[in-house]
Structures are given as C-alpha cells and as structure tokens.
Amino acid sequence: MEKPPDDAPAFDFGTTKACSPRRRLAAFPAATRWRKDREQALTPGAVSQQLKQLEERIGAPLFIRTRQGMQLTEAGEQVYPALLQAFEQIERSLGSLEARNARQTLTVSTTPSFAASWLVPRLGRFTERHPDIDVRVEASSDLIHFQRDRVDVAIRHGLGDYPGLACQRLMASVLVPVASPALLAQGPPIREPADCLAFPLLQNSNRADWVLWLKALGINEPAHADRGPAFNDELLLIRAAEAGQGLALIRDVHARAEIDAGRLVLALDQPWPSDFAYYLVWPSSVQEKPAMTLFREWLAQEASCGEG
C-alpha cells in the first residue's frame, strides 16, 4: 500500500495484535474520513494493519490502492455511511453523558460589600440545595464585560435600566445613619438630622450621601456635610463606623448583621428611601444555562425573605 503523505495527522489506535472486530471497524470510517478530508488524525501503520484485518474478516476489499492514493470499492461505498453514522452517534452519546455528569460552574459578579454582607452568608444554602453547581463569586466595584470577563450573572445596585441586558429586581434598600454605641454615648444626643453634624461624618467615595440625605430631610445647606474620611466601599464604611471613627450612612441591607449584633446602632430613625434597588443582570442575547435558572430562583426567594 502506498505510504500516505507526511502531512497525515497522528492518532494511535494502539497495538494491532489481537485487535477486536470493533476496533477494526472503527479504523475504516476513520481512515475514510482522512482520505476524504483529513479531519481525523491517524497513525498510517496502525490504520493499514487494522484495515487489512477487517478486509480479511469480511472477505472483500474496501479500498483500491493506486498511485494516486486509496479509493473506495463498491463494498466500501456501501458500508461506509452506516459505519460512520454509527460511530458519530456513539460520540454524541458519550459527549452527552460527559456533559450531564460534569459539574456546573456559575460565575457571579457583585460588589465586595454586597458579597460580604448579604450574598456570601446565604450562599451555603444554595450549595446544600444544589451540590453539583460550583458558584464562583467575583467581588469588584468595576463594571464588567460578561463575555470578556467570563461572568454569567451580576448583582448591581441601580435603577434597573441596563440596555442589552435582562434584569430581575431583587430588593430595595434604604440609607440609614449608624454609629458605634460608644461614639453615641459620648454625646451630644441626636434628636433630629442636624444633630448629626456635631459628629465626624464618614463619607462615601463621591462625598454626596450626607449632603443628599440632609437635604431630603429639610436642611438645604448643611455645613461641612461633605467633610471626613471617604471610602469607596460600604464594607469599609461599616468597619470605620464600628471602630467609632464617626457616623456613616449605610444601606440597611449591608448593616443588618452589625445592627442585630449591637456593634452598630441607628443614630436616628430616619431612613432615606430611593428608587434604587438591587438587580440581577445578565446578557439577554445568551441562552440561559440551567445553573443560572436555579440560581435566579433561589436568589429571588432569599431576597423576598429578606424584604419580608
């Protein structure tokens, strides 16, 4: 038999001694595919030996060996389509089983403060319910690109207007003024919003929350309301407030554990509601995988319990 060209790819079927009939059959469609479009990689020697044994078994040649290469005989043309279809079906079945048994991974992006204060403490319940799904939390305040960053779903705080994205509202949140019990005990007492200005104020990164909160409560030009240390994440604000460094305006969703434990207390019962809420967002153009559907349903249940 003429030696195949040197660019024939390599795929080793293993030893040809005591080769099973199934492996001889497998060599035939694989060799024929290589002859037609070279899409399979085969070791020429292994293919040659297995084809020879197959032809001896069925008592008819499957190829004609010529100077130009190998051509299918009439018997080869007859058997090739059925064998090819059978082995392709085997490959599809095995691939389907592998996909079914493989663990599913879901990558979730959210801010560090929401991840630490709300999502992560509850995530164990999802894992218990769906042990075959591995959730990976990417905590960042930066905007993400779903495809580039390989993120399946994101949790963000906003107005729910996300062009090109599907979204699901999870829960609203309000800003509340909090402080450590020790700081408030030093006085003076806080009976109305203006009294907060007697204390050091801890700021968010744009230094806008205290100004807006005081204006919403009737103080149009609050003096020095934008002064004080600023932090780019509410988890840092919470830690600074716990340490007694000042009053902080915190979303109630983030500070519930600290308030429940007594590490922080409400400086004044004047929550500031807004149109902002937490939303689950994902690309509307991408087919939703089963793991994400289960995560969305679980997240909605957790959020409704939290709001209730």
pLDDT band at 17 (very low <50, low <70, confident <90, very high): very low
User: Which architecture does CATH list for 104-308?
Assistant: 3-Layer(aba) Sandwich (3.40)
**Residue 1 CA: distances (Å) to CA of 41, 52, 59, 150, 226:** 19, 10, 18, 50, 87
Instruction: Report helix, strand and coil shares of the chain as percent, to nearest 5.
Output: 45, 20, 35
Given CATH 3.40.50.720, say whether it is the number of domain 21-100: no
| Residue 24 pLDDT greater than 90, yes or no | no
pLDDT of residue 245: 97
Q: Contact, 294 vs 127, CB < 8 A?
A: no
Q: Tell me the C-alpha distance between 13 and 42, whole Å.
A: 8
Q: What is the mean pLDDT of residues 108-129?
A: 94
| Residue 119 pLDDT greater than 90, yes or no | yes
**Among 109-123, 187-201, 265-279, the least confident range:** 265-279
Output the six-digit token pair for 46.
């292994």
- List the chain domain ranges: 21-100, 104-308
For 68-100, the pLDDT digits (tens) are 777 878 887 887 788 778 877 787 776 666 555
State yes or no: cis peptide before 188, omega within 30 of 0.
yes
272 torsion bin: left (phi>0), alpha (psi -120 to 50), beta (else): beta
CA torsion 207-212-218-221 (nearest 10°) is: 40
Q: Tell me the C-alpha distance between 177 and 237, whole Å.
A: 11
Q: Tell me the C-alpha distance between 80 and 303, whole Å.
A: 58
Q: Tell me the C-alpha distance between 225 and 232, whole Å.
A: 17
Angle CA(266)–CA(269)–CA(275) in degrees, nearest 5?
A: 105
Tokens 């879901």 found at = 106
Question: Is the pTM higher than 0.85?
Answer: no
